[in-house]
Structure 1
């Protein structure tokens, strides 16, 4: 597994994409991109807007409190453990398996926030990853060569343990 040292976490505070105040504004930006969601609120908002993400990654919480707005999703499910501040091999494996036959949901026991990094690294260009930016809105990252390069840079800050 890989651990993100406290000293590097500040680099993850800025949006890793374009920040929108709400889901409707984000959806206008997406175009026809295949959609992938990280976070309970974003996933719930997409479903309520009639959009089924190819992959949703949730942990049952929002801002470290139980999230009651995530719908029961009728898709294939994977459950993995992933502690806060880590990216586990189990999470990466579940993401890969889920991507083989969408739509799917990865339910993380622990924290899902950092799943954006391996997800951007493994998705095809043209995909859209949406995730929540606490108290600010939703971030959309269209996967392209620059996104993959930045995801690689961010992943290089992790320490293998």
Structure 2
């Protein structure tokens, strides 16, 4: 029956594919690239697609006049609600929505990220939950030379210029997460 298929597909999309184990948390505290505090200066080093993970990072790029090709926001920064100006600015052009629990990567989040990469126009994904870990699959899925930028609390914006080495490093890290890594890679790729 069509209704049953629709319900089971929806249920699958809510599942947590990967969960960050406590043993890996300390490794994610180290920035994966150089830290910049000035969006204009960071943008000087961007010559391909721009992927922003985080509300404050996305806000800075929008204020600098460079909408990210893909932005992932959750209306929060450092686990607190962002101020109204940031929220209104980063969610104004929301194109897609996804649910993603804290400390995990859901099937729905990964499917939505892949969808965003396939779009021609700048796409903002509004996450119900937490977007913190989305930078990892974004680095794997982004094209060579793309810039994935995420916030480093109280320090600035971390700029990862995507290379095969970065992808390999993120793949190895994601393989150490708990969950269904095989299905995760099927959804991402």
Q: TM-score, normalised by structure 2?
A: 0.80
Matches of 2:37 and 2:117, distance apart in 1: 28
Residue range with higher mean Cα deviation, 32-41 or 18-27: 18-27
Aligned to 2:26: 10
Any gaps of 5 or more consecutive residues in structure 1? none
Structure (1/2) with the larger helix percentage? 2
How far 1:76 sits from its partner (Å)?
A: 5.3
Matches of 2:73 and 2:109, distance apart in 1: 12
- Of the three residues 48, 56, 78, the one matched with 1:33 is 48
2:63 counterpart of 1:48: yes
Contact 1:76 1:103 in 2 (8 A): no
- Of the three residues 110, 117, 120, the one matched with 2:139 is 120
How far 1:127 sits from its partner (Å)?
A: 0.3
Aligned to 1:60: 75
2:152 counterpart of 1:133: yes
Q: How many residue pairs are counted as aligned between the two chains?
A: 160
Matches of 1:86 and 1:73, distance apart in 2: 22
- State the SS of the aligned residue for 1:117: helix
Matches of 1:145 and 1:113, distance apart in 2: 22
CA RMSD across the alignment: 1.4
How has the CA–CA distance of structure 1 residues 75 and 58 changed in structure 2, closer, same or farther, with 3 Å as cutoff?
A: same
Alpha-carbon displacement from aligned partner over 1:27-86 (angstroms, at most 9, x marks no partner): 2222x2221100000001100000011100000000011112130555452111111110
Q: Which 4+ runs in 1 deviate beyond 4 A?
A: none
- State the SS of the aligned residue for 1:53: coil
Any gaps of 5 or more consecutive residues in structure 2? 1-16, 181-189
Contact 2:100 2:127 in 1 (8 A): yes
Bigger radius of gyration among the two:
2
Contact 2:73 2:90 in 1 (8 A): no
2:38 counterpart of 1:19: no
Matches of 1:72 and 1:159, distance apart in 2: 31
